[in-house]
Structure formats: C-alpha cells, structure tokens
Amino acid sequence: MKQVFFGARLFNGFDFIDDHVLITEGATIIGLVPFNERPHGLIERDLGGGILSPGFIDAQINGGGGVLLNETPSVKGISAILEAHRKFGTTHALPTLITDADEVLVETLAAGKAASGFVPGYLGLHIEGPFIDTIRAGAHPHAYIRKMKDADVDRLVQGRSGVMMVTLAPNKVAHDLIRHLTQSGIIVSLGHSEATDHEAFAAIEAGATAVTHLYNAMSPLSHRAPGLVGAALADPRVIAGLIADGHHVNPTAIRVALAAKGPSGIALVSDAMPPAAGESDIFKLQGRMATRTGTKLSLPDGTLAGSAITMLDAVHYLAKDVKVELKHVLQMATSTPAKMLRIDRTFGRLAKGYASSLVHLTDDLKVQSVWIDGLNDH
C-alpha cells in the first residue's frame, strides 16, 4: 500500500523541509518529493499542518503505564511499557532493567528474545547495572551491585536479541571484558561511576561508545578533576544520554553539553518509571516507595528515582523552557539516538529506504498521530 503524506512540514532527522511530501510503501519510505511533483493515484494523507517527524527513539525506558520492567520481566511487561509511551510519539525503544537479582536478569533476557520481532517498537534491551559503582548507585540497590565476570559477559552476549546496551562503571570493569562486549555487538555505555577522566578514556579506547544520563550518578566536572562528565563532553566518540525533565539537569548544564557536543552528540532519554504516561503517583521500586511530586520522582531519602516523563515531555521542556532550537531538539529525539544505537541506517530519518515509523505533531508539539512501520497506531 503506497501512501503520500502532505500538508505538514517534514523534519528529516536533521532539518526541516518545506513544500515536500513523504511517500511510503508499507513499512518503508520510498521518497520525498516537492509538493508539485507528488504522484497521484496513491492513498493521500492530508495532515493539515504541523510537523511530520521520524518517531522518537528512547534508549532508556524503565517503565510506563503503571508497569516496571524489573517487576514484570516478560513479553507482556515489555509490550505494556512500549504501548504506554507510543501514544506520546515514541515508536521504538529499549526497555531498561536496572540493577537487580540474577534471576530477574535471566528472566528479562528470555523475555527480550521472545519479544524480538513480535512486539511493535521493541529494539532490544538496556541492561543498566549491576556492574556499577556503589558510590554513584543512585536509586540502584547496593545489595545487587557486583563485579563483572567472564560468565556475565557470556550471558549477555548469548542473551542479546537485536540491540543491547549495557551500562557499566568504567572504573569497576576490566578493559578486556568491555572489549569482549563491544566486539560481540553490544553497546557499552559508561555510567553510575566515580571514574576519573583517564579511567573513562581507557574504557572508550576499549570500545565504549555511550554515556548514561549525563551528569547524573557520575563523577562531576571540575577544572583539575574532569571526571566522567569531563570525558563525556570532551570525547566525540561517545554519545551521551540526557534526561531533560527540569530536575535531573540544570538548563545551563544542558546548554554546556550542547555547546560541547552539539545535537549529534546528545540523545534524549526518558529514564521513565511506571508513573510516566499518566499513571499513579506512587509505585514500589524494589520494595522502596517512590513518589511523584509534580514531574519529579523520588525515594523517601530524596534520591531521584528515574523520571515521570515521556520523550515528548523532554522535547517540550527543551524547546519551550530551555529554548533550544526545535530542529536540534527533534534531532536529539530521532537521528541521534538512532546513531547511538547503531540503527541509523534504518531509523531516525525521513529518507528513502528508512522505516516509515512516524509521528505527526501539531505546531505546539502535541501528538496527532503515530505510525510504526507504516501502520497507524494513534
């Protein structure tokens, strides 16, 4: 089924294109042409204004719609989380497991394999911990944090289905294990760490290509001890995830990151927990009560416990509150995360041969419609 989409500005993953139409056939984009050269006789979709963009891609999504992956490590749980976020423009994502017992990791890896090719929008898994630094654990339970062993690497490599991202502390994991992971196709992201900049650079040399939620749960930047933040900002080989919710990162710090890396080096992530996408203000995180106050999620001791936002909320916040240019904001939600996850030849752009996974936004950035592989979902 061939369709032609017109009547909206097209965002191609990097910039806006006016007076053009998008042509799709099934799950694939087959072209962009000027409006006056559009083909006739196809199914026509008059969008009536707004912006047509690639669907948002979220590399870190712990939960949503009242579901937490740690508590529901199953195909049903994965599907529910992705479905909850889809109505807010996220067409593809990595459901994320935070530090937990070994048996939960085993269940999650099995669920990921079963979900692959079956659950719409499922790209793979993000395993965040347990190979992290207790000093920068954040909301991760200390009881399950541990050293990475050869057997852990084998389990992750064998358990990979599609994309897999693993967050680890570069000062706590041997370089040969990092190298084994990356050479096996796993994306290593540095985070939850008190690492020095030298330790971070060594992990990058071993193959790490990403940084998890920049600024949060990591050694900060100072002029004599640049830490993991300094390494992330200085090294163009890594793309850093960023939680843009008004709580995790100060607006000035966001502008510093963008000045250092540009929108091609910063990928928006939600780090969403079950209250995201409109659910209850209270949930249990591994036996601890977490509460939403406004848009902030915290444990009883005040520790931030992930976020209550969607990728759409992050786009809103950056564009409207931080005043980042909209094309840069949308790039950080589409083509940059696609590049970080090494799926940028299929997702994150409006171009011939790319997936017809799309979001139609109004001019004030409300979701009108969502398509995954050419199928309208909202």
d(C-alpha 273, C-alpha 310), whole Å? 10
Q: Identify the burial level of 124 via C-beta atoms within 10 angstroms of its C-beta, where 0-12 means exposed, 13-18 middle and 19 or more buried.
A: buried
CA dist., res. 359 & res. 343, Å (int):
18
Asked if 271 is an active-site residue, the reply is yes
- Per-residue HEC secondary structure of 278-305 comes to CCCCEEEECCEEEEEECCEEECCCCCEE
**Residue 64 backbone phi and psi in degrees, to 5:** 165, 155
Instruction: Say if residues 217 and 191 touch (Cβ distance below 8 Å).
Output: yes
Q: Catalytic residue among 152, 197, 245, 271, which?
A: 271
Amino acid at 56: F
Q: Widest CA span of the chain, in angstroms?
A: 65
Q: Amino acid identity, residue 279?
A: E
User: Quick one: how far is CA 47 from the chain centroid?
Assistant: 27
272, 85 in Cβ contact below 8 A? Answer: yes
Q: Which residues are catalytic?
A: 271
